[in-house]
Amino acid sequence: MKLINFEFLKLRKKSRGWLGPILVFILIMTAFPLTVEILNSNLEQAFFSVLWIATLLVMMLATEDIFLEDYNDGTLEQTAIKYDSLALLVAIKIFVYWSLIGIPISLIGALYAFGITGSIESALQILPVLIITTYIFLNIFSFGNALSLTKGSILGTLITMPLVLPLLVVLGKVVIAINLGISFLGFLFLLLGILSIIILILPMVISFVIKAHLE
């Protein structure tokens, strides 16, 4: 519980850490209609693609220094000495980032979905998909960030990019299901399944990677 409070305090007080990605997301979602002819049908066609890509990019941006700051100032060293496992810290960090960045972006994304499609049903259907997807993205990009901790975060994130491509395919199928009005619950459970595996395995893998960097 103490670790959760500390991580919330750190991210909350570092406003550029959580507010920056949210503002970038709003900027992308607000600016994209300017590049499309102002007809509702055109907007609707492009909206979901832009939503997924914006979510992906913003999650990548959000994890840019998820471990780097703690590595540079020695906090990770202290945590590694104090606790037997760094995996708990990693899992908590990702959870806090998801709470302060992933969930707000999911809510804003759903709001935009309502604004563009005019359908509250679509917005409510897209919300749980966004909530799960942002958590998955954060885990995967945190892994990438840990891989290239001392070599610049973008390199590691790019290495992990192929891991998110199958997810984009699933997200595309979700949108088709929503647009056709057929059940998308199968895809939602698939995403939940992916998430449950990822949140169990990746924090442990990331903690090994970080320990290797600390040595």
Partner 1 sequence: MKKILAAENLSYSINEAKLFQGLSFELHEGNALHVLGSNGSGKTSLLRIISGLTKPTRGIIKKYNTKNICFVGHKNALKQYLTVEDNISLLEVDKHIDLNIFLEKLELNNLLDVMVANLSYGQQKKLALLRVFLNDSDLLVLDEPCVGLDKNSKNILCSFLRDQKEDKKALIFSSHLSLDIDSEFINLDKVTS
Q: Which residues bind partner 1 (CB under 8 A)?
A: 2, 6, 9-10, 13-14, 72-75, 77-78, 80-82, 214-215
**Which residues contact residue 143 at a Cβ distance below 8 angstroms, ignoring those fewer than 6 apart?**
156, 160, 202, 205, 206, 209
Q: Least separation, in Å, of the C-beta of 19 and partner 1? A: 13
Question: Which H or E run contains 69?
Answer: helix 68-73
Nearer to partner 1, 9 or 155 (CB): 9
Residue with smaller CB distance to partner 1, 188 or 214: 214
Instruction: Give the separation between CA 111 and CA 120, rounded to whole angstroms.
Output: 9
Nearest distance, CB of residue 2 and partner 1, angstroms: 7
Buried b (16+ CB within 10 A) or exposed e, 129-158: bbbbbbbbbbbbbbbbbbbbbeeebeebbe
User: What does the block give as tokens for 160?
Assistant: 């992990």
Nearer to partner 1, 2 or 35 (CB): 2
Nearest approach, Cβ of residue 17 and partner 1 (Å): 9
CA atoms within 13 A on the CB side of 75: 15
Q: Which is nearer to partner 1, 45 or 72 (CB)?
A: 72
Residue 106 CB, nearest distance to partner 1 (Å)? 26
Report the nearest approach of partner 1 to the CB of residue 87 (Å). 16
Shorter beta-carbon distance to partner 1: residue 51 or 76: 76
The secondary structure element, H or E, covering residue 212 is helix 185-214
